[in-house]
Structure 1
C-alpha cells in the first residue's frame, strides 16, 4: 500500500467529481471534500495515506489552490483529514467508528441497518445438526497434533467426489482445504505470481481479489464484460491473453461476481487452449457454481478442458451454505497442492478440524440444502426485481440465471454518492467502483438478493427516496454515521 497519493493519481480517482447530481447548489470546495469522503467510504482511498500538496492537487484538477485549501479544511473539520504544518495531510477516521467484518470502517451503532454489502445468506437449518454430528466425530482426531496442512482426508475425499460428479476426475491428493475462498486465492497468488507480475481480470470483478492482487503489487489488465448478451467478448478476451501474455488470469465463469454472467462451454475450451499457448495459469473462482436458478444448466467446469495443469479451481462453502463457515478449497495437480502446502506455512498451519468435519456433514446433505437455497434465492431475486421495476424503473437490470447478485445500471454516474446517502437512511451498499480500477463503474451498483423479501423491498424504498434526494438536496449531509474505509 502506498503511503503517498500524487496529484494526478487522486485526480483520476476523483473522476467527474464536479458533475454529480445536486452539484449545482454545492460550492466547489464542498463538492471536492464530499468526493474525497466518497473515495474513503468505498475503500478506493485508504486510511493513513498522505494526500498531495494543495498546489499539486490544484494543478492536477485545474482549479484554484484556494478551493483545494478550503476542501482540505472541510475534511479536517469533519475528522477525515489530519494535517501537520510543513509535513502534509493524512486521511483518517472521524470519532466513533470501527472496522466491520466486511473490511469497511463503519459506525459503532448499527441499529436498523439493512446490509446489502454482503453477498451471502444466513445459515441453513441443517447447520446446527451437522455441528452436533461433527462434535461427535472430533474425538478420533484429538490424539494427534491437529495440523492437517492440506486438510483432513474425509473432506478432501468429499470435495474430490463433488468434482468427479461434475465431470472432472479428481483424487483427494488434488484437493487442498483452506480457510475460505479468499484464503485459497491468496495462497495461489503467493505461489504463482511474483511481486509486480502481470494479471488479467474481468471488469467488473470481485473486489477482494483486487485487494489481494494489489498486495502483490500486480500489474493488472482488465477485460471489460458486456452488459448484455454473453458477457465475455470471446475475441477480445482471447486476444488480450495473446497480447498481454499474463502470468495469471483470474476469472469467475459461473454467475460472475458481480455481473451474473455464465460463460459458455466453447469459450471455456478456447480459454484453456489459449492459456496453454501463452503460458498463463488460470485461476477459476467457482464460488457460485451450485446456485443455478430457473433450471439453468451449467457447462462443464473449466478444468474439464485442461490437459496441461494450467487451471487451478477455487471454491468454498460461503455462498451455498454460510459465510461464517470459513472452509474453502483449491483443486490443482497433486504436485501443485504440495507446493501450495509449503507456501501456506508462511500464512497459517492448517484449517480447523472441527470446521472441516462440519463441512463433511453438510456436503453429505448437499442435494437437499442446495435445492432449498435455490428456491429461496429465486423468491428473493424476483422480489428485488419487482421492487426495482416499481420504484426505480429508470434503472436497467439484467436478470441473472444464477448466483446471488443483481448488477444494476443506474441513471447516472452516482453510485458512490448514492451509497453515501443510503447509509444515512440505514442501507449499506457496495458501489460499482469497488469492483473496478481507478474509479470506474460509477454508473453501476451491486445488489445481492440474499436477504428476506420484506427487507429487500424496504431497502429499495429507502434507496429510491435518497435517489430522489440526490437531485434536490443542496448538499450531502456528512455525519459521524457515514461508512469510512
Structure 2
C-alpha cells in the first residue's frame, strides 16, 4: 500500500521553503518544486510516496492552488513526480533511476590508508585475558558434540543478565546467540519475512541490513530522518498506512545519524506496530555507548506486551568486530523457532568464541567505561577538525554511538568519496545508506580511528573537496565491498 503524505506533514518537512536567499529570487512555484526535490535528494521524502492533493498542500502552505499546481507540473517535467488522473501523484527519480549499492567493502592491510568507512574499534586490552580464561574453560565442553543452536547456557545467561540490569527482566530462554548482529537479523528475516513482503526501514540506515533485506527480496519502504531524528507523525503514519510485515529500526544512536529515539515515541511505536500487525526488529548495536553521561530511555521491548518486539544486539561495537558474537532477545517460543530456522544456515556458533564473550561481559563495566571515554574524545576532536577545515558542512553533535552524519555543501558525496580515495582515505558516501540513490548531500564519518588519523583524514577530505570545485574531476575507483 502506498504511503500518503498529508499537506500538514509535507509543510512541516518543507519548513521555511522560501526563506533561502537563492529561492527568494525565484517564482513561488519554482521555489516550491526545488524544495520538494531537495527533500527527495536528501532522503527525507521517500520515493513512491503519494503527495497531498493540490488544495490540501496549498492550504497547509498558505499559498494559492495555482502555485502548487505549477510546482507539481515542474516536478513532473523534471521526472520527480508521476501522476495519474484520479489517482494522485507519486514521488520518483528521473528516468525511474534507483541505485542500490551493496554497502560492502573488503578490508585491506594497507598501513597508509586512513579507513573512515568502517565504524569499528580495535580490540580492548582485556581481550587477551578473556581469551586465556576461555581456553581454560574449554575442556568442560569437549566431551559433547559442541552444537548449541541457541548458544551455550553461560553466555545466554550473561546476556539475559545485561537486559535485566537495564530494567528489562529477561530469562536465558529468551536469548539466542548468533554469529554477529547481522546474522541475528538474517535469521529473523528468514523466520518472519516471506519473499516479497513489505518492510519499513529508516533512511538513512545500516547498509548491510539493506543487503539482507534485498536477499529476502523484501519490498522496502522508508521513513526519512531529519536533523532532529524521527518525525513521529510520519513514522507512525507509515506503519498505519503500509502495515509492513516487519520494521527494522535503530533507536539507540542510530547508524549513521547518531540520533536517540525519545521514550514517548518508543511507547507509541510499539502500540502502533501491534495495531498494524507489524513485528519490530530493534537493533541495539550501540546501546552501550552513550557518551555524555545522559540517562538512557527504556528499551523499546519494555513497552511490548504481545511479543511483537525482537531485539538484536552484539559485542562488535562496544568490544571487537573480530569477536563474532550477537544475539536475539525474543519470547522463548520465538527463540526455539529461530533455532529451527538456523539448522539450514550454520547449525551453531563456535564454543570458544562464546566463552570469550562470557569473560568479556564479566569485565563489561571497565571495558565500556574506557570505550566511552575514548569515543567521546575522538568525537570532539573530529567535530573540531571538521569545523576548522570544512566549515560549510552541517554536523549535528551526536550524544552517543560511533559516527557523525555530515550534511555537505552540495550533492557531491559519491564524487568526493572517489576523489579522496586517491589521497589515501576511504569513506562511505551517503547513497550507501539509502535504497534509491538519494542522500548525495551526506557523508558518514566514524570516530573509531585514533585522533591523529581522524584529523589527518579530515584535512585530506577538505583538500579533495576543494579540488572537486577547482577541477570538476571524477577519478575512477574500485567498488567497495563492505561497510561496517
Secondary structure of the equivalent of 1:472?
helix
**Separation (CA, whole Å) in 1 of partners of 2:106 and 2:128:** 31
Q: Does 1:119 align with 2:98?
A: no
Equivalent position of 2:440 in the other structure: 442
Contact kept in structure 2, 1:423 and 1:483, CA below 8 Å: no
Cα offset, 1:111, TM superposition = 4.5
Give per-residue Cα distances to partners, 1:363-417, cap 9 Å, x unaligned.
0010000000000001100110010000000000000000000000000000000
Whole-Å Cα distance in 1 between the matches of residues 109 and 122 of structure 2?
A: 21
> Where does residue 213 of structure 1 map in the other structure?
213
Q: Deviations over 1:30-65 (max 9, x none)?
A: xxxxxxxxxxxxxxxxxxxxxxxxxxxxxxx99xxx
Query: Cα offset for 1:438?
Result: 1.2
TM superposition outliers: structure 1 runs of 4+ over 2 Å: 102-106, 108-111, 474-478, 481-485
Aligned to 2:26: none
Instruction: Choose which of 243, 246, 249 in structure 1 pairs with 2:244.
Output: 246
Q: TM-score with structure 1 length normalisation?
A: 0.77
Residue in 2 that maps onto 1:144: 144
Q: Could you list the per-position Cα deviations for residues 215-273 of structure 1 after superposition, in whole angstroms to 9, with x for gaps in the alignment?
A: 1110011111111x3x1111111111000000000000000001110001111111111
Secondary structure of residue in 1 paired with 2:370 = helix
Q: Does 1:103 align with 2:104?
A: yes
| Native 8 Å contact 1:424 1:482 kept in 2 | no
Per-residue CA distance 1:133-175 (angstroms, 9 max, x = gap):
0000000100011000000000000000111111111100000
Would you say the 8 A contact 2:418–2:475 is kept in 1?
no
Q: Secondary structure at the match of 1:220?
A: strand
Equivalent position of 1:82 in the other structure:
none
Helix, strand or coil for the counterpart of 1:258?
Answer: coil
What 5-or-longer segments of structure 2 have no aligned partner? 1-77, 80-101
Q: How does 1:329-478 map to 2 (within 5 A)?
A: 329-473=327-471, 475-478=473-476
SS of match in other structure, 2:471? coil
Deviation at 1:315, TM superposition (A): 0.1
Secondary structure of 1:406's partner? Answer: strand
Q: CA RMSD in A?
A: 1.7
Tell me, what secondary structure is at the counterpart of 1:147?
coil
Specify every segment of 5 or more residues in structure 1 that has no aligned partner in the other structure, as ranges. 1-60, 63-98
Displacement of 1:463: 0.5
User: Structure 1 residue 477: deviation in Å?
Assistant: 3.3
* 8 Å CA contact 1:250, 1:283 repeated in 2: yes
- Alignment check: 8 A CA contact 1:422 1:428 kept: yes
Q: Distance in 2 between matches of 1:458 and 1:155?
A: 40
Structure 2 partner of 1:326: 324
Partner in structure 2 of residue 57 of structure 1 = none
Question: Could you tell me which residue of structure 2 aligns to residue 178 of structure 1?
Answer: 178
Q: How far apart, CA to CA, are the structure 1 residues paired with 2:479 and 2:265?
A: 40
Please point out which of 308, 311, 325 is paired with 2:309: 311
Q: Which residue of 2 aligns with 1:134?
A: 134
Normalising by structure 2, we get a TM-score of 0.77
Q: Indicate conservation of the 8 Å contact 1:414/1:443, yes or no.
A: yes
Q: How far apart in 1 are the matches of 2:479 and 2:426? A: 8
